[in-house]
């Protein structure tokens, strides 16, 4: 048997419990260790093309359709890019209202990601049926003095609900999991506590949507942002609307502190060996653009760059160092290019005859963003690590407290579970600081500062200009670049968090963060590559999702087949 035939290729398509369509192919050796990986976005995003020729003031409403989840993030980035191009500065009240929506989205996103999209990589639903509810309640009290809805009766009710699912022979959304996999480590009681909070998180995230809609008009796809400010003036001035918003945020804060954080500490304790082994660790290049200025001029997030896990120093972030290339992506322009000058011309070169990705050619609809020519990891782990290293007032105390309680070190956050831990810490940081922004808004109104829009004369603005917005959003750093000519959009590019993390290899053959995090993993069972899903899910993948193609006559346009094993 040759070396080549000892390796087998595993295809995971689609990767489920994410937003959008992601395909991952891995190559494993005879010891079931991953030796190479390819991450492929399977959807083409054409919003940039649609935006060409449009009035710049309309870009926000169109650009938010890039996604069905991060709608406000793209909406705000697009509006801010146009404001940057025209040098329009929105009033402080508008900035605060925008922050109240964005930060509520942060916490909602983190809740949904952990409980509903990722926790079942660590929580065995079927095991919870065997739990002793009295013992489970006692365990919950070990992680918090007042655990969220964890009385013996609460837990028994959840267990009965789960049993009804199983006894009815329809696991529904819990079907197709790798239940019973050898790598699940939580006890039946710990699994039951998690499932209790899984169900409760469904209610919490729904309520947070209402909070977002108080200022955004609706969600997803809010309507309140305009170039120069916001339109939700009466909502901002109505005490009842502010109270409604605060009531929901307070409810969410209770859940974070009494359920989410204790559950995360429980997972960190159970999977400590996986963390210390560095499972899911990437290149160690972290990037954060910073932002969300507090009233004392301190930013919530500190900006900076960390290279190769060197936590002794950070470099300043400079957005002019961002390029994208498509040497391994299905686009025509291959060389590294500034987003201002990129094109979005498709160049699809298909797959291999056996249906696998072309490992030596183009293999993804995702481009390869690079900072100073290097792949970068963005997201909560990057923000919390950089904030800690830079001694950010809003971040370091929370990180230090979590590290003291769990025994984690900074390096440990650069792992699959570590990214989740960083996300939980960030949820607490963000939720607590929402109240500071509300207080500032109320203070402004009290002193008759009710301005929410900066007036401008569009006809007097430059006909040719360019601008960009670089923001931190739940999944990581988001940037929109716009070039304007004859008062119309000449070129537009969005470099999104998942583009950074799900990047394919570049022209130098350097892997993207997903791929780097997967290589080196040892699979307990190649038929059930749970370890790969843990690494990929830890980044909170969110691929373009808002464009869905249907045939009005009901004809099938395409079919997707899950084929976990293909041997080469």
223 in Cβ contact with 217 (< 8 Å): yes
State the pLDDT at residue 561: 54
Q: Give the DSSP letter of residue 259.
A: I
Residues annotated as binding site for Fe cation? 70, 545
Tokens matching residue 554: 């009901």
The runs of H, that is alpha helices, within 168-221 are 188-216
The pTM is what? 0.93
Give the C-alpha separation, 109 to 427, whole Å. Answer: 9
Annotated binding site for Mg(2+): 48, 548
Query: What is the residue-wise DSSP string for 79-110?
Result: HHHHHHHHT----HHHHHHHHHHHHHHHHHHH
Q: Is residue 469 packed enough to be buried (19+ CB in 10 Å), middle (13-18) or exposed (0-12)?
A: buried
Residues in the chain: 568
The tens-digit pLDDT sequence of the chain (568 residues) is: 344 557 899 999 999 888 888 999 999 999 999 999 999 999 888 889 999 999 999 999 999 988 888 899 999 999 999 999 999 999 999 999 999 999 999 999 999 999 999 999 999 998 999 999 999 999 999 999 999 999 999 999 999 998 888 777 766 677 778 989 999 999 999 999 999 999 999 999 999 999 999 999 999 899 999 999 999 999 999 999 999 999 999 999 999 999 999 999 999 999 999 999 999 999 999 999 999 999 888 899 999 999 999 999 999 999 999 999 999 999 998 899 999 999 889 999 999 999 999 988 999 999 999 999 999 999 999 999 999 999 999 999 999 999 999 999 999 999 999 999 999 999 999 999 999 999 999 999 999 999 999 999 999 999 999 999 999 999 999 999 999 999 999 999 999 999 999 999 999 999 999 999 999 999 999 999 999 999 999 999 998 644 444 455 666 655 655 444 443 3
Cβ partners under 8 Å of residue 336, min gap 6 = 323, 324, 325, 370, 373, 506, 507
Task: Calculate the CA 148 to chain-centre distance.
Answer: 25
User: Which pLDDT does position 356 carry in this prediction?
Assistant: 94
- What tokens were used for 215? 């200022």
In CATH, the architecture of 89-170+186-279+415-454 is: Orthogonal Bundle (1.10)
Helix 188-216, helix 133-143: angle, nearest 10: 60
* pLDDT digits 0-9 by tens, 217-257: 999 899 999 999 999 999 999 999 999 999 999 999 999 99
What does each C-alpha distance from 145 to 36, 139, 262, 398 come to in angstroms? 45, 11, 10, 19
Show Cβ contacts of residue 460 under 8 Å, excluding neighbours closer than 6 positions.
none
For the chain, report the end-to-end CA distance as a whole number of angstroms: 13
In the numeric block, the tokens 């480590």 are attached to: 185
Give the residue ranges of the annotated binding site for Ni(2+): 67, 70, 542
Residue 382's φ and ψ, nearest 5 degrees, are -60, -45
CA distance 388 to 406: 16
List, as residue ranges, the binding site: 48, 67, 70, 542, 545, 548
Cα separation, 222 vs 210, whole angstroms: 11
Helical (H) or strand (E) element with 496: none
Tokens of 338: 């500034």
């Amino acid at each position: 048997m040759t070396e080549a035939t000892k390796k087998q290729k595993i295809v995971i398509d689609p990767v489920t419990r994410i937003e959008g369509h992601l395909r991952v192919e891995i190559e494993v050796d005879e010891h079931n260790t991953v030796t190479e990986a390819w991450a492929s976005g399977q959807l083409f995003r054409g919003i940039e093309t649609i935006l060409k020729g449009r009035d710049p003031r309309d870009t926000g409403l169109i650009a938010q359709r890039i996604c069905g989840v991060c709608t406000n993030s793209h909406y705000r980035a697009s509006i801010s890019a146009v404001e940057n191009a025209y040098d329009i500065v929105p009033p402080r009240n508008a900035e605060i209202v925008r922050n109240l929506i964005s930060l509520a989205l942060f916490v909602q996103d983190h809740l949904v990601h952990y409980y509903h999209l990722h926790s079942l990589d660590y929580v065995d639903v079927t095991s919870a049926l065997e739990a002793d509810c009295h013992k489970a309640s006692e365990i919950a009290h070990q992680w918090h003095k007042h655990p969220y809805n964890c009385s013996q009766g609460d837990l028994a009710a959840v267990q009965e609900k789960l049993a009804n699912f199983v006894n009815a022979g329809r696991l529904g959304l819990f079907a197709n999991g790798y239940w019973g996999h050898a790598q699940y480590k939580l006890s039946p009681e710990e699994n039951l506590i998690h499932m209790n909070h899984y169900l409760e998180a469904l209610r919490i995230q729904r309520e947070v949507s209402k909070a977002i809609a108080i200022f955004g008009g609706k969600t997803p796809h809010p309507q309140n942002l305009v170039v120069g400010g916001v339109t939700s003036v009466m909502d901002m001035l109505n005490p009842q609307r502010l109270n409604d918003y605060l009531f929901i945020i307070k409810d969410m804060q209770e859940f974070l502190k009494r359920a989410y954080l204790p559950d995360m500490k429980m997972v960190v304790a159970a999977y400590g060996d996986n963390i210390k082994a560095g499972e899911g660790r990437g290149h160690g290049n972290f990037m954060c653009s910073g932002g969300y200025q507090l009233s004392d001029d301190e930013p919530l997030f500190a900006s900076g760059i960390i290279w190769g896990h060197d936590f002794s120093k950070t470099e300043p972030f400079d957005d002019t160092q961002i390029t994208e290339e498509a040497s391994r992506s299905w686009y025509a322009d291959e060389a590294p290019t500034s987003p201002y000058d990129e094109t979005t011309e498709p160049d699809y070169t298909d797959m291999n005859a056996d249906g696998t990705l072309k490992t030596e050619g183009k293999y993804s609809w995702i481009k390869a963003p690079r900072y100073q020519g290097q792949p970068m990891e963005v997201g909560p782990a990057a923000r919390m690590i950089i904030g800690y290293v830079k001694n950010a007032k809003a971040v370091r105390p929370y990180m230090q407290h979590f590290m003291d309680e769990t025994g984690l070190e900074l390096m440990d956050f650069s792992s699959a579970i570590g990214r989740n831990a960083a996300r939980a810490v960030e949820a607490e940081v963000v939720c607590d600081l929402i109240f500071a922004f509300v207080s500032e808004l109320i203070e402004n109104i009290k002193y008759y500062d009710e301005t929410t829009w900066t007036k401008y004369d569009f006809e007097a603005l430059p006909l040719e200009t360019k601008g960009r917005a670089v923001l931190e959003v739940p999944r990581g750093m988001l940037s929109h670049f716009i070039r304007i000519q004859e008062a119309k959009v000449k070129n537009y590019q969005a470099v999104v968090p998942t583009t950074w993390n799900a990047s394919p290899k570049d022209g130098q053959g350097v892997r993207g963060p997903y791929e780097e995090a997967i290589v080196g993993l040892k699979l307990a069972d190649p038929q059930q590559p749970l370890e790969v899903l843990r690494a990929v899910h830890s980044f909170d993948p969110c691929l373009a999702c808002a464009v869905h193609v249907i045939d009005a006559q009901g004809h099938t346009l395409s079919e997707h087949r899950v084929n976990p094993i293909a041997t080469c």
